[in-house]
A and B are shown apart, each in its own frame.
Chain A
């Protein structure tokens, strides 16, 4: 298990994401309203690059003619077949108990702390003035 510096916090604005390759794995790192989450970039249904899909709200309805949009920016829709996943947990909307996109631990760490290690900076240059998104894998 190593901690990988993914990007400066400023690079991934709220509502956006960055796809990174870490240890041979393609992973999407999302900024959901200021908090960071990471999902494997592979849909558990048929293997599509899940993390390039649209980010949406949770859309529900109690009866025909009524609908609700909640949890804005917290759902991800697969770019192939449209399966939806909760970005925070990887849980599938259709099969919440049995289907999950793999998630990874992400933290925001000050550049100052990074300078001390043990982190794998890879291609992201680190300066002490900034905060960084760090992923555990």
Chain B
């Protein structure tokens, strides 16, 4: 029984003293038409008349719960004008950036659906539009917010063009890649994109969301949202395994990958399993020069939300030790319903040193911020 929950006092020291870095913030448009100013006439017309062709399996339903309007938003995050949570900068400042003394918020916009779009040319146009929108509508008004480069994952040339276009623009800190492409991310078809990220100094944020059309679990589509949510770690496990075993980190040693919105407590057991099998199956993957755990330790970072809440809260600290305290970066997921609050997310107290690392320093280093 988790008896510590009720008596715990808010631990505000991290944010009031340090200034935290939030590695998962979701800005939204007030209306899909907000992107029109960044689309050419051809794509504005297509967006309005025919619309996108997503790979989502559900015709009229997202795979997120309808607990609140717009699906899956925290209920106190609706702007007074009835528009989408996360679309009002003033409210985001009040509920997140100012409240928690956020030094930087890493934006992970889930709109435009560039990566899911079957019409890849439209997807490329939407990626460009969403990137302009992030930079102009958000970063230029609020310099604490940092933009993620959206790319059409299945249209390599356009993706690389977009990455190169944003290189050197300090408003952009990372390239967003969805965790479920048509194939596992370590496959050769994606290497040119991954190379472009590393060559242009971008970290990669693998944020949960979207769909390739493949079922979200290895065993098929789930019946319940309660089944859907635990599929996030599954998709992350598949990503880590693919990136490591395909030899991506041998090929691109300076590729830096953050796993966003998948929790992290599953990582040590996956690492142990990969190492165990490396000793037995090395002949199959001679391109791997090191143990899988070593690639994970050198190239992969995790963000905290949705944080695991073990029955014995202190067990999570041991998990952090296994992963490495220098690899763990705090994230809220504002304004989603399952967001974590920095004052309460860790149910066991962190040392001052670990707090500094998790809430601030690791992310500053990872994203090249000061």
Contacts and interface: CB of A to CB of B under 8 A. Distances in A.
B3 A98 contact: yes
B337 A49 contact: no
Contact of A81 (B3, B6, B76, B337): B337
Given A45-B344, A81-B337, 17 more contacts: A46-B341, A46-B344, A47-B10, A47-B343, A52-B75, A53-B75, A79-B68, A79-B76, A80-B338, A80-B339, A82-B67, A82-B337, A95-B1, A97-B1, A99-B2, A99-B5, A99-B6
Interface of A: 44-49, 52-53, 79-82, 95, 97-100
Contact of A98 (B5, B67, B74, B340): B5
A95 to B, nearest CB: 6
A47 to B, nearest CB: 6
A53 B345 CA distance: 20
Nearest to B4: A98
Nearest to B306: A81
Interface residues of B, number: 19
What DSSP secondary structure best describes chain A's contact surface? loop
B6 to A, nearest CB: 5
Which of B6, B76, B339 has the most A CB atoms < 10 Å from its CB? B6
Given A47-B344, A48-B74, A52-B76, A98 B337 contact: no
A81 B338 contact: yes
Contacts of B1: 95, 97-98
27 contacts: A44-B5, A44-B6, A45-B5, A46-B343, A46-B344, A46-B345, A47-B341, A47-B343, A47-B344, A48-B74, A48-B76, A52-B76, A79-B68, A79-B74, A79-B76, A80-B74, A80-B76, A80-B339, A81-B337, A82-B67, A82-B337, A95-B1, A98-B3, A98-B5, A98-B6, A99-B6, A100-B6
A128 to B, nearest CB: 37
A7 to B, nearest CB: 22
Contacts of A97: 1
Contacts of A100: 6
Nearest to B309: A45
Nearest to A49: B76
Nearest to A96: B1
Interface string B70-93: 000011100000000000000000
Contacts of A45: 5, 344
Contact of A95 (B2, B10, B67, B339): B2
Contacts of A53: 75
Nearest to B1: A98
Interface string B1-22: 1110110001000000000000
B2 A98 contact: yes
B329 to A, nearest CB: 19
Interface string B321-341: 000000000000000011111
A64 B140 CA distance: 53
Interface in B37-83: 67-68, 74-76
Contact of A80 (B6, B337, B343): B337
Nearest to B337: A80
